[in-house]
Chains A and B, each alone.
Chain A
Amino acid sequence: MNQTAPPPPIEHQRTVLRDGLRLDSGQLIRPLHVAWRSYGTLNADRSNAILICHALTGDQYVAERHPSTGKPGWWANLVGPGLPVDTDRFFVICANVLGGCMGSSGPREEMTDADGNGLGRPWGTDFPSITIRDMVRAQKMLVDHLGIDRLLAVIGGSMGGMQVLEWAATFPQSVFAAAPIACATHHSAQNIAFHEVGRAAIQADPDWMGGRYWETGRIPERGLSVARMVAHITYLSEAALTRKFGRELQGGSALTFLEDVFQVQSYLRHQGSTFVRRFDANSYLTITRAMDYFDLATEHGGLAKAFGGTPTRFLVASFSSDWLFPTSESRALVRALNAAAARVSFIEITTDKGHDAFLLDEPDFHRALGGFVAGAARDLGL
């Protein structure tokens, strides 16, 4: 098997926060690096800022060509001039999550000691355990640094949605409108189980080297690729896989009893092999664990406490064929918000595209989100 070299280093725009961040685990990351991108213009009273939170393997390049893959921004169909999240009107920020591998503090960045001195090696698996709340605190430090007291909206899907919920629960005064999409208030046992398969695959790859693969100049690409393949199945639905591939064969029209005969196989392998070129294995371990730890109710002493008296308005949206974060979990969230007398909108989008639907062209979802954001802007007099 050909060895893939580690992804080439890219210069990311980032802010260095000298004082660092104290984590839920008690550890200090100093300095804290937050890599971020913005689109549109911040208005004079800094009231038109929208924060987008990205998912597990997303990054800050939400609405522009990605510097390493060359692909369009992951939410380029939703964020841009004249789009539902209109960058002609709003100042849109997206930051690489803490623990990520696109320039924010994470396993791939240089390890620092308690005084913030660089140690000349990456953190690797010595990067501390982090939580979704730590990610949100890092984003809050960036938002404070930009002089923004209150975000017009915080929007995100999947793990991004978890961050949205954490924002609303931890910094309610700083969030006017929150749109947690295709997510839940906690990671379920089944979700944790799938993540564990991915982590086990990475750790079983000899090239992982106990997490110290930077010493060899190689990456655990087989393990990381398997992790991506398993995860990718959870992002789709049975119906979508059948619609796209069915039992179609590659090339020939009859079964040859050779390997790799089905189209769905090559599709998955492709997903795995492109992923390893852009993502860091230790980052994957760190972030999947943060998702697994997420349980808003436990963190805040119950959902009633997490949302009690919240001034934030919510749009909750789920997708009918999403079995990773099923509608039932969004509905439970809506009920908790209703119990807190929060101003909440909720819709389920009918689609066969599974969890991935939140990233795809779903006109009803885009219209609803656009209306929600426009309504929030209107009520703030923007």
Chain B
Amino acid sequence: MRPPAPVQYVAKNMRLDLRIIAEMIPERARVLDIGCGDGTLMAHLVTEKAVDARGMEIDMKEATEAVANGLAVIHGDADTDLAFYPDDAFDYVVLSRTLQAVERPREVLSQMLRIGRHAIVSFPNFGHWEVRLKLLLGGRMPDTETWSRPWYETPNIHPCTILDFVALAEMDGHVIERWLAVDERGLKAPWRRSVRLANMFGQQALFLLRRK
């Protein structure tokens, strides 16, 4: 079959972490985007890299939008629905800014690396200095640019720091192929060599994992 023609969809103002993720994915890869939203990343990957992109989204409105754009998106929940995919169904499984909001992040990560050869995970870093400082000095749950929702209504039930994530990957035998920290403005942070510094100054973290 000939490669799919470009999707009539312009990925304008794509979030920085999505752009970085897109750079990590080779042409014609099989990709599952968990928490794909309206399919911005998928549409970009289909158009630019002829990727076979599938998506999963828990918000029905967004899923409907993606389907209406001709994308293969299912309404589903990462906590329950990844179990139904076969082993090695994908080359890359992407979870962007969603890990902190799932019920069982450890299980979700393991499922990602069962059904995909690689996992790409981005999440907001709870170890950022501003978070630490606000809790230390104010004694209240931190209210920052990244962590802006009050504790009683945040969907982010499992926040973690970059160090926490590295520890979990190690514990479960996932290999970290690449990682980087970025700030909200979209600049790649210059703390490439030190995880500890990145954990202090990085607002967002991004990891490329593979099985051992």
A169-193 contact mask (Cβ, 8 Å, vs B): 1 or 0: 0000000000000000000000000
Judge whether B70 and A374 touch: CB under 8 Å.
yes
C-alpha spacing A371/B86, complex, angstroms: 27
B78-104 with Cβ < 8 A to chain A: 81, 84-86, 89
Q: Is B54 interfacial (CB-CB < 8 Å)?
A: yes
Judge whether B81 and A338 touch: CB under 8 Å.
yes
Judge whether A344 and B67 touch: CB under 8 Å.
no
C-alpha spacing A231/B89, complex, angstroms: 42
Residues of A with C-beta under 8 A to B64: 347, 349, 364, 367-368
Assuming A348-B60, A350-B60, A378-B5, is B74 touching A368 (CB within 8 A)? Answer: no
Q: Is A335 interfacial (CB-CB < 8 Å)?
A: yes
Judge whether B86 and A339 touch: CB under 8 Å.
yes
Assuming A335-B84, A348-B75, A379-B5, is B89 touching A341 (CB within 8 A)? Answer: yes
Residues of A with C-beta under 8 A to B5: 378-379, 381
Residues of B with C-beta under 8 A to A378: 4-5, 7-8, 70
C-alpha spacing A372/B63, complex, angstroms: 13
Q: Is B156 interfacial (CB-CB < 8 Å)?
A: no
Q: Is B2 interfacial (CB-CB < 8 Å)?
A: yes
Q: Is B71 interfacial (CB-CB < 8 Å)?
A: yes
Judge whether A371 and B69 touch: CB under 8 Å.
yes
Smallest distance from the beta carbon of B61 to chain A beta carbons, Å? Answer: 8
Residues of A with C-beta under 8 A to B81: 335, 338
Judge whether B85 and A371 touch: CB under 8 Å.
no
Residues of A with C-beta under 8 A to B200: none
Judge whether B85 and A339 touch: CB under 8 Å.
yes
Residues of A with C-beta under 8 A to B7: 375, 378
Assuming A335-B84, A348-B60, A378-B5, is B72 touching A313 (CB within 8 A)? Answer: yes
Q: Is B73 interfacial (CB-CB < 8 Å)?
A: yes
Residues of A with C-beta under 8 A to B2: 381
Q: From B2, B4, B72, B73, name the one whose CB has the most chain A CB atoms within 10 angstroms.
A: B72
Judge whether A367 and B89 touch: CB under 8 Å.
no
Judge whether A338 and B67 touch: CB under 8 Å.
no
Residues of B with C-beta under 8 A to A376: 70
Smallest distance from the beta carbon of A274 to chain B beta carbons, Å? Answer: 34
Q: Is A370 interfacial (CB-CB < 8 Å)?
A: yes
Assuming A347-B64, A379-B4, is B74 touching A338 (CB within 8 A)? Answer: yes
Q: Is B14 interfacial (CB-CB < 8 Å)?
A: no
Assuming A347-B60, A368-B64, A371-B68, is B74 touching A334 (CB within 8 A)? Answer: yes
Assuming A339-B86, A368-B64, A370-B68, is B75 touching A346 (CB within 8 A)? Answer: yes
Smallest distance from the beta carbon of A31 to chain B beta carbons, Å? Answer: 37
Q: Is B105 interfacial (CB-CB < 8 Å)?
A: no
Q: Is B76 interfacial (CB-CB < 8 Å)?
A: yes
Residues of A with C-beta under 8 A to B63: 346-347
Enumerate 8 A-B pairs (CB-CB under 8 Å) in ascending A order: A313-B72, A344-B72, A345-B72, A367-B68, A368-B67, A368-B68, A378-B70, A381-B2
Additional 9 contacts, C-beta under 8 A, given A338-B74, A372-B67:
A334-B76, A338-B84, A339-B85, A348-B60, A350-B60, A371-B68, A372-B70, A375-B69, A381-B2
List B residues at the A interface (Cβ < 8 Å).
2, 4-5, 7-8, 52, 54, 60, 63-64, 66-76, 81, 84-86, 89
List A residues at the B interface (Cβ < 8 Å).
313, 315-316, 334-335, 338-341, 343-350, 364, 367-368, 370-372, 374-376, 378-379, 381
